[in-house]
Structure 1
């Protein structure tokens, strides 16, 4: 179930400067990992204003990605992307469906 991109989805959700444009930025960057490691110049090229790019880089530097991911997983959480076979079928059919969902508990009864 876990993809190497899951950890980056979690980290990106923690950066307020990009939250409202997250899915478009991920697409423009080439994926969540690429967005996570993007330089200021690249962030601006893919659609962030300069001040937001600086905010994103500053916020990113304060996040211990592995610790946050382990904390999330150890608290019973998991992440599904629209590329995972476990991603809910009906959600996938919705227009503009989320590219990643963050789950605690079970999606199935």
Structure 2
């Protein structure tokens, strides 16, 4: 069932946006569990939020600069997995998984 998010956003002037969580996934990467929320916005596009991101020993910026907007939940899940593994290297001594405080 698709909710009318525009109607929900208009309930109060201080509500900036309402997103529907359409799916929650868990990925295990080298023993670390990463939660992935797949959300839908008012325009019907999908995007993801990650519970953790990886900072390598070289302190590479963990935030992916690619577009986080997809036409299906499946595409958003693929994008999330690409993002979460982009900077991860199992041989990286000194790297760490960091909790995403906005998750």
- TM-score (norm: length of structure 2): 0.24
Return the structure number with greater relative CO, CA threshold 8 A, min gap 6: 1
- TM-score (norm: length of structure 1): 0.23
Identify the structure with the greater helix proportion. 1
Larger CA Rg, structure 1 vs 2: 2
